[in-house]
Amino acid sequence: MSDPIKVYPSKPQKVYYFGTCLVDMFYPDAGIAGVELLEREGIEVIFPQGQTCCGQPAYTSGYHDEARSVAQAQLDLFPEDWPIVVPSGSCGGMMRKHYPALFKDTPQATQAAEIAGRVWELTDFLLNVCHIKLEDLGDPVTVAMHTSCSARREMGVAEVGPALLGQLKNVNLVEQIRPEECCGFGGTFAVRHPEISAAMVSEKVDTLVDTGTQEFVTTDCGCLMNIAGYAEKNGKPLQGQHIISFLWERTRGNQGGQS
């Protein structure tokens, strides 16, 4: 569940940036775009070089000891009291919501809980901490949006993406039917239950195509890989992009706050 009451910090001078595995391996442009947007807002971005996986794949598969081992390697990466910004509701949800339970009754319990309280999903941070104002420099385009289950339900940012897109004067955002439904990725769910996952993503692709657009954006690279990959494999007229890459491409002028 999302936080009942979010208490946003003041705009900081520095943040830690946790890039995620999928961004690192498949969508580095989204990671770089996130850094560029934060820096344009006058924030120094610290990228700990030792970061690896948040531990979610093992955790959601029931391998909690293995997940704890992976996650523990991340705990010492964020020693200063700066926000930890993550371009993924899925990884952000793991760190913010599940680290305290994962490390309960361990020597790292206090440290894990403290770190969890500093984790923010990137679009939420840009909108509600940086109070970013976007100037659209792109051509008119129509897009649909898919918000991941974790971003929606664990990080509580379902309204953030549409709010950011709403600042772009040349972007027409169309809504799919049943926007809250899962795309079928679910991390290891797609591997463990491929037939169910395929049926879910098939329906999701159809609902996006039915909006009349051929482009969609999403907050999570897992959803992006699943939806765009299925569309390409099955000849569906649909292309996807991480919302952070989309925002950066359309607003590359020298703008943004420095306060």
Domain positions in the chain are: 14-128, 141-250
Check pLDDT > 90 for residue 229.
yes
Percent of the chain at pLDDT above 90? 91
pLDDT at 251: 97
Confidence of residue 2 (pLDDT cuts 50, 70, 90): very low
pLDDT at 256 over 80: no
The residue that leads in pLDDT, 258 or 12, is 12
User: What tokens appear for 242 in the block?
Assistant: 């991480």
- Looking at the predicted structure, is the pLDDT value of residue 44 above 60? yes
Separation CA 164–CA 159 (nearest Å): 9
Contact 158, 151 (CB under 8 A): yes
pLDDT band at 253 (very low <50, low <70, confident <90, very high): low
The pTM of this model reads: 0.93
Contact in structure between 169 and 233 (CB atoms under 8 Å): no
Residue 189 has pLDDT above 90, yes or no: no
Confidence of residue 1 (pLDDT cuts 50, 70, 90): very low
Q: From the options 3.40.50.300, 3.40.50.1860, 3.40.109.10, 3.40.640.10, give the CATH code of 141-250.
A: 3.40.50.1860
Confidence at 186, pLDDT banded by 50, 70, 90: confident
Token readout for 36 is 């560029």
Share of the chain above pLDDT 70, in %: 95
Predicted confidence at residue 3, as pLDDT, reads 54
- Give me the pLDDT at residue 212, please: 96
Q: Measured between alpha carbons, how far is 49 from 225 in angstroms, rounded to an integer? A: 25
Residue 166 has pLDDT above 70, yes or no: yes
**pLDDT band at residue 255 using 50, 70 and 90 as cut-offs:** very low
